[in-house]
Amino acid sequence: EQQVVLITGCSSGIGLSLAVRLASEPSKNYKVYATMRDLAKKERLLASVKGLHADTLDVLQMDVTDERSVWDAREKIGERRVDILVCNAGVGLTGPLEALSQDTMRQTLEVNLLGTIRTIQAFLPGMKAQRSGRILVTGSIGGLQGLPFNEVYCASKFAVEGVCESLAILLQHFNIHISLIECGPVNTHFLSNQRAEPGESQVGQVDPLTCGLYATYLQHCNTIFQSAAQEAEDIVQVFLEAMRSPSPSLRYYTNSTLLPLTSLKLATHDGRQYIRAVNKLIFPTASAENLSRVGTSQIWVAPASLRSGFSGDKVRLPQPYTSPPP
Contact 91, 100 (CB under 8 A): no
- If the CB atoms of residues 65 and 202 are measured against ligand NAD, the closer one turns out to be 65
Per-residue binder mask for ligand NAD (CB under 6 A), 30-69, x = binder: ------xx-------------------------xxx----
What's the closest the beta carbon of residue 45 comes to ligand NAD, in angstroms?
A: 10
What's the closest the beta carbon of residue 221 comes to ligand NAD, in angstroms?
A: 10
SS (HEC) of 272-319:
HHHHHHHHHHHCCCCCHHHHHCCCHHHHCCHHHHHHHCCCHHHCCCCC
- If the CB atoms of residues 88 and 210 are measured against ligand NAD, the closer one turns out to be 88
Handedness of CA 43, 45, 51, 55 (dihedral sign): negative
Question: Can residue 90 be called a binding residue for ligand NAD (CB under 6 A)?
Answer: yes
- If the CB atoms of residues 88 and 216 are measured against ligand NAD, the closer one turns out to be 88
CB atoms within 10 A of CB 98: 12
Beta bridge partners of residue 31, listed in sequence order = 4
Is-catalytic flag, 153? yes
Among 4, 7, 12, 59, indicate the residue that binds ligand NAD (CB under 6 A).
12
Among 4, 5, 7, 9, indicate the residue that binds ligand NAD (CB under 6 A).
9
Among 95, 96, 133, 185, indicate the residue that binds ligand NAD (CB under 6 A).
185
Among 95, 96, 115, 133, indicate the residue that binds ligand NAD (CB under 6 A).
115
Among 86, 152, 183, 302, indicate the residue that binds ligand NAD (CB under 6 A).
183
Nearest CA to 182 out of 113, 119, 242 is that of 242
Binding to ligand NAD in span 122-181, by CB under 6 A: 138, 140
**What does the alpha-carbon distance between residue 122 and residue 116 come to, in Å, rounded to a whole number?**
10
Per-residue binder mask for ligand NAD (CB under 6 A), 203-242, x = binder: ----------------------------------------
Among 193, 202, 219, 268, indicate the residue that binds ligand NAD (CB under 6 A).
193
**What does the alpha-carbon distance between residue 45 and residue 286 come to, in Å, rounded to a whole number?**
43
- Using the contact rule CB under 6 A, the part of the chain among 6-14, 126-134, 209-217, 300-308 near ligand NAD is 6-14
- If the CB atoms of residues 139 and 198 are measured against ligand NAD, the closer one turns out to be 139
Among 186, 206, 242, 302, indicate the residue that binds ligand NAD (CB under 6 A).
186
Contact 140, 190 (CB under 8 A): no
25 φ/ψ sector (left φ>0, alpha ψ -120 to 50, else beta): beta
Q: Which amino acid is at 71?
A: W
Contact 217, 196 (CB under 8 A): no
Question: For residue 61, what is the enclosing H or E element?
Answer: strand 57-61
Q: Of 153, 253, 274, 321, which residue is the catalytic one?
A: 153
Number of residues forming the site for ligand NAD (CB under 6 A): 27
What's 114's DSSP letter?
I
Task: Tell me phi and psi for residue 182, to 5 degrees.
Answer: -85, 115
- If the CB atoms of residues 108 and 210 are measured against ligand NAD, the closer one turns out to be 108
Question: Can residue 189 be called a binding residue for ligand NAD (CB under 6 A)?
Answer: yes
**What does the alpha-carbon distance between residue 266 and residue 242 come to, in Å, rounded to a whole number?**
24
Contact 89, 37 (CB under 8 A): yes
Question: Can residue 198 be called a binding residue for ligand NAD (CB under 6 A)?
Answer: no
Name the site residues for ligand NAD (rule: CB under 6 A): 8-9, 11-15, 36-37, 63-65, 88-91, 111, 115, 138, 140, 183, 185-186, 188-190, 193
- List, by residue number, the catalytic residues: 153
